[in-house]
Amino acid sequence: MLGLYSTPIERATAGLVRNFDLEPSHARRICELDLATEHYPSGAEIGAADEPPYLKWILDGWACEARELADGRRQIFSFVLPGDLVRPPQIPGARIVRALTAVQCVDVGDMLAHGGVGETTLEALHRATAEAHARKYEHLSRLAWRSALSRMASLLVELHDRLDSVGLTRGREFALPLRHEELADALGLSAVHVTRCLGVLRTRGLMTLQFRRVSGFDRAGLQELCEG
Amino acid sequence: MLGLYSTPIERATAGLVRNFDLEPSHARRICELDLATEHYPSGAEIGAADEPPYLKWILDGWACEARELADGRRQIFSFVLPGDLVRPPQIPGARIVRALTAVQCVDVGDMLAHGGVGETTLEALHRATAEAHARKYEHLSRLAWRSALSRMASLLVELHDRLDSVGLTRGREFALPLRHEELADALGLSAVHVTRCLGVLRTRGLMTLQFRRVSGFDRAGLQELCEG
DNA sequence: CGGTCGTTTGAAGTGGTTCAAGCCTTGTGG
DNA sequence: CCACAAGGCTTGAACCACTTCAAACGACCG
């Protein structure tokens, strides 16, 4: 298992190997490429400067897929983590991808042009996109009839599992660089209520979120809450 | 414009022509094929008897894409209308497609094997699936931070527009064969509150739902409500 | 060290739920 | 064709989860 000290590209390829059947030998070859990485500062819109059919592969940092309204309200559709892919929106303006921390990524088009990246890698990336799509159904049922506590638990379990698959957890701890407001925008709650929910989880001993890190993460206990 | 007395296949192809750039000549050719249609009674699971990579094209009737829980609760992810496509779920059990009325459809695989259906038709069907996917984002933001009245208005406008594009509206009227419970399962509300919302829309003169039909549909007025 | 932004806590308000009863449709069998 | 039963719709009243507003506290950054 990958520790915290591997490089971003190693973690991202490890995710493809673990979840999407990429051959380890292909993964190694990708890591050895001298890929030109793109860097976005926190708050930047990813892909804003690119021509539409771009495809970005996130190596490091967090972003979100969201709709932002004129009045300042925002709906976060999903969080984008290392190892994930970003596609342009079909309908311009319907949805944007915004970096929530500093983000490092590669352009998949560039990577393919670079050579040495086979068809099988592209297939693994395809399966990754399909899974991201399937997660939208999960998110839909989160928002629909579950209580605030259950929504929160379910999102945290999802994020934990996704981070774990790219080697970004360390036992019961992991970095969660989201403000309460961002969790609120994703879960359809007010930021104040997010605070209260996190407080309940803490007093129940299920997890503690402090200083942008989660500790004491009790996956089984949180999973139980998800049903409610 | 197509009237109410055209056939199901004419309406479905008309939707492809109107929204997804299918050539009218191709549409006519499809209508002339002697297609074997499948029939599902209300309540049946569509595709339950088929091998996974099936693709069904709905010609008549209503269905829904949903997750059904052991305790009887259900989340409806989307409604499936004439002209829409049904794909098998990637993860079995995560989601099913259930007929809400009697449904008539064709298997796209059969239709292609039949000959006379070109590449361009397949592309149009592809664009239709992409749009159905984009609607999930719309539904996500409906559920997230909008009031019950706004959710309801937004769903009704969507259904009206989709029905209109396949010639299933007649002025300010259209058939809406959904029970309050089904609207509730889609909007994340209780059936009782759906009744109340519909009551408000009626007293405001925006629309009346009675006997499975909508009348006096005021699209502009409902559209205004969607923002709130 | 002071300012800013994010978090925490409290109190009051509200939109939607739940429970319960009555009504109206629709379907069924005599 | 009518009588009855079953299921969906409607309405009212009580309750609760989450929101909003407001004020204080704490971390981080110049």
Task: Check residue B116 and give its pLDDT.
Answer: 65
Residue nearest to nucleotide D21 (CA to C1'): A192
Task: Check residue B3 and give its pLDDT.
Answer: 53
User: Is the distance between the Cβ of A218 and the closest atom of strand C smaller than 7 Å?
Assistant: no
Report how many Cβ contacts below 8 Å link chain A to chain B.
54
A5/A52: higher pLDDT = A52
Which residues, in sequence order, are bridge partners of residue B39?
B104
**How much is the average pLDDT of B174-191?**
96
A197 CA to C9 C1' distance (Å): 13
pLDDT at B66 over 90: yes
Task: Check residue B63 and give its pLDDT.
Answer: 96
Task: Check residue A53 and give its pLDDT.
Answer: 85
Task: Check residue B147 and give its pLDDT.
Answer: 95
The band of B176, judged by pLDDT with boundaries at 50, 70 and 90, is very high
Task: Please report residues of A whose CB lies closer than 8 A to that of B140.
Answer: 75, 77, 136, 139-140, 143
The band of A4, judged by pLDDT with boundaries at 50, 70 and 90, is low
Closest by alpha carbon to B82, among B170, B178, B139, B167? B167
Compute the distance between CA of residue A85 and CA of residue A103 in angstroms, rounded to an integer.
Answer: 13
B95 → chain A, closest CA residue? A137
Task: Check residue B209 and give its pLDDT.
Answer: 95
| Residue B98 dihedral angles phi and psi, to the nearest 5° | -120, 135
The band of B4, judged by pLDDT with boundaries at 50, 70 and 90, is low
**How much is the average pLDDT of B144-150?**
93
Task: Check residue B5 and give its pLDDT.
Answer: 60
For residues A24 and A56, is the Cβ–Cβ distance under 8 A?
A: no
Task: Check residue A197 and give its pLDDT.
Answer: 97
* B94 with A134: Cβ contact below 8 A: yes
pLDDT at A177 over 60: yes
For residues A84 and A113, is the Cβ–Cβ distance under 8 A?
A: no
pLDDT at B97 over 70: yes
Residues of B with CB under 8 A from a CB of A: 67, 73, 75, 77, 90-91, 94-95, 130-131, 133-134, 136-137, 139-141, 143-145, 188
pLDDT at A91 over 80: no
Which residues 209 to 228 of B reach strand D, CB within 7 A?
210
pLDDT at B221 over 60: yes
pLDDT in tens, A11-64: 999 999 999 989 898 888 888 888 889 999 999 999 888 888 889 999 999 999
pLDDT in tens, B49-63: 888 888 999 999 999
pLDDT at A5 over 70: no
Residues of A with CB under 8 A from a CB of B: 67, 73, 75, 77, 90-91, 94-95, 130-131, 133-134, 136-137, 139-141, 143-145, 188
Tell me the torsion sign for CA atoms B131, B133, B139, B140: negative
**How much is the average pLDDT of B12-24?**
91
pLDDT at A218 over 60: yes
- 3-state secondary structure string across B188-217: CCCHHHHHHHHHHHHHCCCCEEECCEEECC
Mutation target among A141, A189, A194 for the B interface, most CBs of B within 10 A: A141
B115/A138: higher pLDDT = A138
**How much is the average pLDDT of A146-157?**
96
Instruction: Give the predicted TM-score (pTM) of the model.
Output: 0.90
pLDDT at B86 over 60: yes
A34/B82: higher pLDDT = B82
pLDDT at B1 over 60: no
| Least confident interval from A69-73, A105-109, A151-155 | A69-73
B227 → chain A, closest CA residue? A69
A3/A24: higher pLDDT = A24
Per-chain mean pLDDT for chain B: 90
Per-chain mean pLDDT for chain A: 91
